Amino acid sequence: MSWIPSLFRSKNRAAYDLSDLGVDMHSHLIPGIDDGSNSIDHTIGMLLKFKELGYKKVITTPHIMSDLYKNTPQIINKGLAEVRKEIEKLNIDIEIDAAAEYFTDSHFLDLIEEDNLLTFAGNKVLFEFSFAAKPMQVDETIFALKTNGYQPILAHFERYSFFLDNGVAAAEEFKKRGVDIQMNLNSLTGHYGLAIKKQAQLLVDHQLVDYVGTDCHRIEHLQLLENSLSEPYFLKLKALQLKNRLL
């Protein structure tokens, strides 16, 4: 019967308050332009859930990938305007803005040089790697972003398989080079697997996380998050100087 006290503590443990963050800066909410929301109804449902969880603002970040999601600032801003129109019609008290999640490839380097990036909070740019193989142009990408006045933020660092053996050292090196680290909140739930969960825990323990995001593609991601907020590593987030609060 030794499990009974543990179960009792779990049910009564305080939950992490997402209203302390205020802003989510990684999601896929614009309907029909990437692998996220596929309808305005789904988008509205997710935004209502964000509001219920305590968020005041969402910065949604559609994929831009030259060979798959050929989004442009014009496409994304048009979709954003349609979502805002629906929010206003339904009188939903939540703010939404848009940037992008850029895939690291030669097209991204071209966009940097053309000064044609969607940013948030001034000069901040969210970018990602392939999950399976480290790209060849990492150094060039970081140099180009910094040289052109952008603040790079590496998306869901904990999910890259090639960093699983040396994640802390790799994250420290990126931060030394001026790159901020973003972690997906649901990595702490085990949603992406136990190895990813362990990597996320190490990032929290070493205080290497600058931003957390939902990376919400569908409402189930928010429901899973809601059901996990009393887990120990969510409570540890309180000790981090997360930059979400400054957006």
Q: Are 205 and 234 in contact (CB under 8 A)?
A: no
**Is the pLDDT assigned to residue 12 strictly greater than 70?**
no
Per the structure, how many domains does the chain have? Answer: 1
Give the chain's mean pLDDT. 94
| Stated pTM of the model | 0.94
pLDDT digits over 149-183, tens only?
Answer: 999 999 999 999 999 999 999 999 999 999 999 99
The parent domain of residue 191 ranges over 18-246
Q: How many CA atoms lie within 13 A of 195 on its CB side?
A: 10
**Is the pLDDT assigned to residue 6 strictly greater than 90?**
no
pLDDT digits over 69-116, tens only?
Answer: 999 999 999 999 999 999 999 999 999 999 999 999 999 999 999 999
**CA–CA dist 109, 176 (Å, integer):** 21
What CATH number does the domain containing 110 carry?
3.20.20.140
**Cα dist from 160 to 50, 119, 212, whole Å:** 26, 23, 16
pLDDT on residue 8 = 41
Residue 32 resides in a domain: yes
